[in-house]
């Protein structure tokens, strides 16, 4: 997850954050009650939906429940609704809600599989912003608010990398290629003594795009001979854990292979983006599309 950037300019408070999800998903998470109640508010708060109508002139009534047990009735009125690009609303300070009134423009900048989210709040005055920050912790609460959105939407957007290949080779040959250590080192990684047995632990060294070394730590978790092999995949010295699954399907003298790498989102964001999903996609595409293919298919 990325960091939140904040700017305060008089009576304006701007928060921006790059979210690891497409704009359409972020929009849904912000405008559908079943989603918004799961992340809305600062850390420790929960939210009860009291009715949402996302349309110009519509409103959303909700109650925020603080970690201290206090309830905060709220109402926002939608002024502009432009899915999935922009949402403008007024936070109303009605008699039956908290005495808080300000305007918010939320921009969902579409960056393909990511979204640059900008939340621009305008208060009645700089003094009013100072009051809300003093009494409600508005600035830090805003940061936590967007961080919770990031965490929630990233979880929803978590999809394993999946690739399928058809090989002109029988299933027993492909199975041997992915489980026999002598064969594996010729096209894959050098893993001495590898055994396709549940509980077998192994490790191997890999190299990043800039030449950096990474030690992979793995453990076999499922084996169905000539059909399925699953093992964990993590890195020495780094948080996160993932799982690689090879599934083999015999189709006459040919074999269809489905490779799934799940849990990539658990790896940390590093300065060199070593654990970015696109790096795994590129690596597995080459391994399955060229390395394994050339090894198991007969030479003409």
Enumerate the CATH 3.30.530.20 domain ranges in the chain, comma separated: 5-156, 161-296
What's the pLDDT tens digit per position in 190-242? Answer: 999 999 999 999 999 988 777 789 999 999 999 999 999 999 999 999 988 89
| CA distance readout (Å), 285 to 196, 260, 261, 273, 295 | 23, 12, 12, 18, 15
The confidence score (pLDDT) of residue 116 equals 96
Residues above pLDDT 70, as percent of the chain: 99
- Mean pLDDT score of the chain: 92
Question: What does the pLDDT read at residue 2?
Answer: 62
Gyration radius of the chain over CA positions: 25
Domain range 5-156, CATH architecture: 2-Layer Sandwich (3.30)
199 burial (CB, 10 Å; 0-12 / 13-18 / 19+) is: exposed
Tell me which fold the domain 161-296 belongs to. Answer: Alpha-D-Glucose-1,6-Bisphosphate; Chain A, domain 4 (3.30.530)
* Per-residue pLDDT reduced to its tens digit, 11-44: 999 999 999 888 988 999 999 998 899 999 999 9
Please state whether the peptide bond connecting residue 199 to the residue before it is cis, i.e. omega within 30 degrees of 0. Answer: no
């Amino acid at each position: 997850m990325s960091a939140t950037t904040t700017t305060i300019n008089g009576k304006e408070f701007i928060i921006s954050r790059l979210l690891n999800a497409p704009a359409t998903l972020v929009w849904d998470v912000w405008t559908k009650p079943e989603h918004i109640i799961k992340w809305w508010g600062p850390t420790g708060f929960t939210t009860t939906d009291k009715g949402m109508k996302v349309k110009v002139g519509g409103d959303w009534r909700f109650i925020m429940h603080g970690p201290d047990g206090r309830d905060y009735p709220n109402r926002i009125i939608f002024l502009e609704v432009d899915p999935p690009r922009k949402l403008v609303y007024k936070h109303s300070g009605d008699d039956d809600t908290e005495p808080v009134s300000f305007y918010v423009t939320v921009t969902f900048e579409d960056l393909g599989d990511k979204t640059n989210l900008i939340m621009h709040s305008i208060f009645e005055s700089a003094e009013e912003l100072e009051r809300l920050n003093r009494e409600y912790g508005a600035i830090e609460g805003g940061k936590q608010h967007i961080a919770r959105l990031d965490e929630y939407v990233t979880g929803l957007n978590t999809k394993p990398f999946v690739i399928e290949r058809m090989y002109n080779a029988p299933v027993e040959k492909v199975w041997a290629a992915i489980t026999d250590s002598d064969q594996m080192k010729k096209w894959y990684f050098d893993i001495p003594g590898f055994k396709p047995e549940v509980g077998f632990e192994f490790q191997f060294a890999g190299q990043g795009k800039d030449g950096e070394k990474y030690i992979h730590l793995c453990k076999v978790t499922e084996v169905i001979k000539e059909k399925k092999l699953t093992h964990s995949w993590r890195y020495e010295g780094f948080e996160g854990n993932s799982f690689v699954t090879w599934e083999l399907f015999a189709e006459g003298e040919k074999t269809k292979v489905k490779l799934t790498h799940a849990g990539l989102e658990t790896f940390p964001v590093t300065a060199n983006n070593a654990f970015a999903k696109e790096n795994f996609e590129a690596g597995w595409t080459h391994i399955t599309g060229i390395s394994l293919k050339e090894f198991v298919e007969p030479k003409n």
